[in-house]
Amino acid sequence: MKRIDSPSPGVHTKPNNLSDYAQAFFKHKNTALKLLFFTASLGNGGAEMHFLRLINALDRQQFEPAIALAQLGGSYEAALDPDVPVFGLNPAGVRSSTLRMVRAIKPLRRLIQPRRPDVVCAALDHANLAAIAGGRGLPHRPKLLVCAQNSPLSQYHRPWHPLDRAMRGLLARQLAEADGLIALLAGVAAEFASLMQPPQPPIHVIYNAGVDDRVATGAIAPLLDKDLPLPRPLIVACGRLCEQKGLPTC
């Protein structure tokens, strides 16, 4: 597997705030920026938790967030602020995640047209490709940001597997249609820079939001009696040192 440890030209490694990045597209807009987030579901993973924390923390005087999901019912939905509209793009009972994402393209397109968001922000590779397809050719296409969480060279490393070959080919060709790519880490950004065909969108590294009110409250909450004494030293960490995230491991 090809590994790139240093950022490629055009990759901005200084951490930025995603909302500031979206706002930079509309420096002279005087009303709240309309954001439509899109992913597979709101549950189970770090990208989805990042969306949850970001949406809840957005200043409502500057941003008007909404979220579209290929599948409703994710475990994080209950923690979403009640003022955020949630749109399910598939009926219940579609069991295949790939089929749900393909079926979500047309409903996403129909949602974008009347709502007219300023920015669509998608996360995870399948959702990124669906968002690109959903916005293609619209008369009033919003700016499109795609968020990459995993190493494409690690995730799609099997040259003999048709899905891996298809995903690497689609990402290489179609990500050029996005207005910006936001990578979780510099290693992920560098790998996407090496994978994508020109012209490449601007690539920025923005770390996932790791703290919210629940984390801060939990940090100062006392341990329950049933949790003490701890049987071994307790180590608290944020992040995963693994190939999937583009991080070399010992």
Does position 123 have pLDDT exceeding 50, yes or no?
yes
Mean pLDDT over residues 149-171, rounded? 93
| Amino acid identity for residue 16 in this structure | N
Give the percent of the chain with pLDDT over 90.
59
Query: Domain 11-213+222-245, what fold?
Result: Rossmann fold (3.40.50)
* Average pLDDT taken over every residue of the chain: 85
What pLDDT does 231 receive?
Answer: 79
What pLDDT does 24 receive?
Answer: 67
What pLDDT does 44 receive?
Answer: 85
- Say if CB 9 and CB 196 are below 8 A apart: no
pTM of the complete model:
0.81
- Say if CB 101 and CB 16 are below 8 A apart: no
What are the tens digits of pLDDT across the range 45-59?
888 999 999 999 999
- Comparing 9-23, 29-43, 125-139, 192-206, the range with the smallest average pLDDT is 9-23
